[in-house]
Structures are given as structure tokens and as C-alpha cells.
Amino acid sequence: MSATQRTPTTPPRVSFGIELEFLVAYIYEGEADPDEEIKDGLQPLVVVPRVETACSSPEPTSSRHDTNSRFNPHPQEWVKTQIRMALAKAGLPVAGATDGVVQESVQAGHSRDRMSAFHVVNDHTIDEVSIDGYHFQGVEINSPAMYSMDISFDMIRLAVSVLTTQFRCRVNPTCGFHVHVGVGPTQRIDTRTLRNFAALLWAADPLISRLHAPWRAIARYSQSGRVNELTELGKNHGPADVLLDTAPPSQDSEGVHRAEMTTVIPARDLKRVKYFSRDRQLGEPVEPNPDLDAFRAELDKDTVDDIAILKAEPWTHRPCVPAAQGSRSESPGEHDQFDYPRCNYTPPVPCPEAYGDYRASRLQSSAPSRPRPPPIQRRYPRIPGTMREDTRVDREFLAPYLAHHGYGDFVATPGVRQPPSRSDVMSGVRDLLGSDMTAAQVGDLMRNKYVAKHINYKFDGYSMYQVRRWRPDGVTPEYSGWGDMPGSYESKKENTIEFREAAGSLDATWITTWARICCRLLEWSRDADPAEYMCVIRLLAWAQEEEGAQYDVVDFLIDLGLIQEARVCEERLPNGDAAFWECMNVIPDPRALEAREWDEDWEYVESVEVEMTDAPPFEEEADDGKLAAAAAAAETDEDTP
């Protein structure tokens, strides 16, 4: 190969995996198909053999889940077995599948590897009431860990197609759709990329939230850190605050008040934190070095727990910069071509067709510049505003949209809102980009320390807690008794960031589109030029803080290079509830056994505690009249001096 020829290179692909939650309809053997008249035009219905066990009681218990347990096989396992069989017959690798897998084939080999197979598992947070004779079983499917390639998304499409053509499925507000993104099963996201990624998510959160159902940003299992005060970043804490804390001021012998600095973690853990995923000196690889000798050498450094350095500003980092080599040429002829720009310069490619309209727009004349002119024209008007109104105080919204069923846990019910102390964009970006000591600072700033899953972006795999459990090889965590044995499927998921805000869906186009968007967010955070990165951050801040700003999530996706995905989202957004509600929501009759009622204090109570024998027919008008009477009484109280 000649010296002038160069081999084209591409950046490493990011990895991803998805979790789909949905409900599968079934009936017991001997029960009639609720849609017998039109069943030829519907998907097959799962029929569970109704074989009662010897210890079954003649009367059903108060819980329908206990009723299901009277039969063998249990509906839960029977439904999962049918799904595994269907996926395997379609040629997909499925963990635990026996029928449909060709022995000694590539499919069989991947089915035995937990990271390369689809998993059909239980999820107790998914629930639904019985509808017109149908019973429903909640199911979660975990995809293999795959790299961001077209063939990977084709596998997702195939799996969703199998589900929607061979089973009667539905989704409701208790279902979610999660995406994990990372850089492979054995690598961790480097600190610089993680900083950029977290800052981008913080800045773009209100815009991205527009792609999802309105209840997801306030529901407990997917609530937004920009809406509720969930994270240290939302509490207005900085990168040093997550590692150190200030003790109450004390007095010395002369009566002078002094603030004593106390470490939240031991000094030896600070050294461990400094080693794993820390910023690298010039010339060092960006990957965490798993060499044990290098780890021990790092522990011997004395500056890693220096309080002055930890509490200093980010620019006090002192890398070993080598002396500059060479000097500027004394010949001016070599630089003549850069003296003045040519007036007759012609761009190498023609301008996009929409470039003239973009330049002429008066609304965009005062806006921050885009990284490049948009290559496509918008087909629909931009979404006004960025942050949705908080709907949790609207009783009419909560009653039908967040109907709570089943176990009684507060699965989808939002809690009382605690507004974050930090609401602006740029201060959060500043603190995240200033986390230059370790990736653990970013993880602790972005995670929910109280309940890990109660947030829309889960960064726990890069938190201080996770770093403490990491072994010196930098790859395997210590076993803590929760199913995360070193090298296991669960431990490898700790290398990822989880997107949890998407609502449950069985739309293959939307599922693959959102997965591509999640992958691109991480990829762009890693590869974007600093000037382009800050240009987009500035646009996001302008869109949220400037009234009438003309920049929305579709523009954001275009600036990330997601042209096809931007078109899909642009078509999706005008549909509103039709896009978010793929299936009709069902509110149980209050006289039903599994029903819950919404009381005067906005809390759920067990229906068995209510006298149901003389209850009137279930009518929404009754609630409306009660609300109207309450409103009239409130107005009367206000008028009374």
C-alpha cells in the first residue's frame, strides 16, 4: 500500500440492549374466547391448561394472583414458555428455550450465552385488571447486548413482530420500555465521554421528554431529575460535594469558628476512585488500566486525597505537559495561502435547499447559530415551549391515566413534587463538565441515591457505591448477594446507562427509533468536536430560557445527525395521545374484587375496606358532581370574611 493511501477508520460502535414490558392475554382451558365471533381476524389466544392442584381451595382467595397459583402449570410460566418457543422458531437466540432451537447451530450457541440471547422474565410491576373474560400476564423481554448496527435493530423488529402477530398483547401505564447503552460488555465509558453525556442529558431532558407519554416524567419509576429534586445535581451540589462534606463549624481555643472538612468516604477509597475511570495524563490510554501493578502504584500517590486539590476549581488540574518541539518556520512563503480568504471562494458542495429559508427567518436571526444549516425542511410547526406542565395535581388527568391495579405498590403513582433547587441549564452543565477527578463524580451527581430505579436516566453503575464494590482488575464487581456474581449478566449491566422514561410500546418503528436515538446520544457525546458540542448545549439552554425560542426536539435530533429519526419523531408528535396510547386504558369497576378507589386525600385504599354491597353503579358523573360541590364550597369559604 502506497504512502498516500490511508485505510478509512470509524469510531468504535456503542452497545445497547432493550427491556420491553407488556401484557399477554390468556384464558384457561374450558373458557370461551371472549372474541369468538371475530377470532379469525385476531392473533392466536394463549390457552392455559386448567389442572387444579390437590391442595387448592374450593373458593378463590381475595387476590387473583393467589387464585392463579391454584393451578398447575402456573399461567406465568406457561405464557413465558409459549413466548420463548415462538421467538426460537423465528430463529432468534432465546435463553431457556428448548423447542424450536436447532441443536449445534449458531442459534443454539448464542442461546447458551446470557449476553447474546433474548430473556423472557417476570416483572411484578406490570399489572392489568381482567377485561371481558380475558386474563393478563405481565411479561418483560430483555434483548441481547448488541452493537449499534442495522442487523441489531432488525433483530428487535423481528422479535416485536413475533409478539404482535402470535399473541394478543397490550400495554398500559404500568408498562415501560428501557434502553441500556454502553461501550461493550467488558469496557466502561471513559470519564470525558461520561461527562459530556451526562451534561447533554441534563440540558436536553425537557426536550427529550416531549417524545414520551406525559405521565412518565412524573411517575415514580421514570420521573425526571429536571422536574423533581432527585439528584445531587438538582440539589445544587457540585462535583466536590459528592465526595466531601462540611462538618458543622466548631470553635478553637481562641473562639474562632472553623469549618472542619470531613470525608464522606475513607482516604483509601478516594485513591481507588482516582484510579478507576479517572482523567488520564497526556499519552495515557483512555481506558481504565486493569493492570494490578498500576493500580497499586496509583494507591501510593499522595495527592489523590489532597483536600485542597479536591475543593479547587477544575482548571487547577496539573497534567505533565511535555515541552513544545520545533518552532515556526522562518519562511513566510509557506503561510501566504492563509493570509487572506479568497473573495471568489465556492463551497465544495451545494448549499441545502432549505438554507435560504433558514437565513431569512426573522425568528432565527437572534438565535444562537446551529452547528450547520439543517439539511431538511420541517413539515410541521415546532412544539411551543419545552417543559410540560406538571399534571400530577390534575385529578381528571390522574384518574384515567394512572389507574392503579393489582399489588397495591405505588408503581405508577407520582409522589408529591419537590422542585429542584437548580433549574437552569448552564450551571448543571458546568458542574458536570467540571467533574474531572473521576467518573464516579458524574454518577453520584446524576443518580437517585434513595431509590435507584426512581429516575429517568440511571447512572448508578458509575456511582461511588459501585466503585467501592469494584475489584482491582477494573472489570468484575465483588459479590454482594443480589445476583451480581462477577462476570454475570447482572454485573455487566452495571457498565451501562439506562434510559427509563419511554412508556411501554409494541410499535416496532418507535422502539427501534428510540433505541437508535439513545445510542446516538452517547456516540455524539464521545465524538463531537468541543465547539460543536457547546453550540448544541447553548441552543438547548436558549430554547428553555428564552420565551418564543424556535428550537425543539426535532431540531435537536437533526443537529445530532439523526435525520431519519427526526422525521419519525416529527410525524409522531402531532398525534398526541394517539401516539402515547397504543391501547385503550381500562378503569376497573369499583365493585370489582381487584379495584382500588381514589379517596378524598388522593391516596389509594383497598376496595374491600369500602362497603360495596349497596354501592351505586359506577358512573363518572358522580365524581364530577362531587368535585363541583367541593369547588363551590371552596368559593363560599373564600368569600366568607
- Residues 159-205: tens digit of each pLDDT: 999 999 999 999 988 899 999 999 988 788 988 999 999 999 999 99
Residue 135 within any structural domain of the chain: yes
Q: Is the pLDDT of residue 334 over 80?
A: no
Question: What band does 464 get if pLDDT is binned at 50, 70 and 90?
Answer: confident
Segment 326-351 mean pLDDT? 54
pLDDT for 224 beyond 70: yes
pLDDT at 29 over 70: yes
Assess whether pLDDT exceeds 50 at residue 336.
no
Answer whether residue 400 shows pLDDT above 50. Answer: yes
Q: What's the average model confidence in pLDDT over 580-601? A: 57
Number of continuous H segments (helices) and E segments (strands) in the chain: 20, 15
pLDDT for 337: 45
Look at residue 588 in the predicted model and tell me its pLDDT: 59
- Residue 182 falls inside a structural domain: no
Residue 413 placed within a domain: no
Q: Between 420 and 83, whose confidence is greater?
A: 83
- Grid cell digits, residue 585: 386504558
For residue 65, what pLDDT is reported? 44
Q: What is the 3-state secondary structure (H, E, C) of 428-494?
A: HHHHHHCCCCEHHHHHHHHCCCCCCCCCCEECHHHCHHHHHHECCCCCCECCCCCCCCCCCHHHHHH
- Tell me which residue of 179, 217, 194, 236 sits closest to 443, measured CA to CA: 194
Nearest to 177 by CA among 156, 193, 194: 156
Domain boundary among 170, 188, 212: 170
601 versus 205: the higher-pLDDT residue is 205
Round to whole Å and give the CA distance between 175 and 368.
39
- As for how many domains the chain has, the answer is 2
Residue 106 pLDDT > 50: yes
Q: Which of 222, 586, 578 is nearest to 400 (CA)?
A: 586
520-545 mean pLDDT: 94
- Host domain of residue 626: 596-639
The whole-angstrom separation of Cα 365 and Cα 331 is 43
**179 assigned to some structural domain:** no
- More reliable by pLDDT, 115 or 336: 115
Grid cell of 291 as nine digits = 493492570
Q: In terms of C-beta density within 10 A (0-12 exposed, 13-18 middle, 19 or more buried), how is residue 567 classed? A: middle
Is 151 inside a domain boundary?
A: yes
- On average, the pLDDT of the chain sits at 74
500 half-sphere exposure, CB direction, 13 A CA radius: 25
The answer to which of 46-60, 87-101, 525-539 has the lowest mean pLDDT is 46-60
Residue pLDDT, tens place only, 556-589: 999 999 999 999 999 999 988 888 888 877 665 5
In a domain, 87, yes or no: yes
pLDDT value at residue 153: 96
Q: What is the mean pLDDT of residues 459-466?
A: 85
Alpha-carbon distance 421 to 226, whole Å? 10
- Domain boundary pick from 115, 141, 170: 170
Asked whether residue 118 is assigned to any structural domain, the reply reads: yes
Pairing of β 604-606 and β 596-598: antiparallel
Q: What is the pLDDT of residues 258-313, one digit of tens each?
A: 434 344 555 555 555 555 545 555 555 555 555 556 555 555 554 545 555 555 55
Q: Please give the residue that has the higher pLDDT: either 37 or 245.
A: 37
Question: What is the dihedral angle through the alpha carbons of 232, 236, 239, 245, rounded to the nearest 10 degrees?
Answer: -80
Instruction: Give residue 514's pLDDT.
Output: 98
Structural domain ending residue among the three candidates 112, 142, 170:
170
Q: Minimum mean pLDDT among 45-49, 257-261, 272-276, 420-424: which range?
A: 257-261
Average pLDDT of the segment spanning 529-553: 91
> Span 427-433, mean pLDDT?
94
Q: Please tell me the predicted confidence (pLDDT) of residue 323.
A: 52
In a domain, 420, yes or no: no
Give the residue among 212, 182, 275 at the shortest CA–CA distance from 467.
275
The pLDDT tens digits of the residues spanning 612-624 come to 333 333 333 334 4
- Predicted confidence at residue 493, as pLDDT, reads 67
- 175 contacts 21 by C-beta, under 8 angstroms: yes
DSSP 8-state secondary structure symbol assigned to residue 406: T
Cell matching residue 467: 466503585
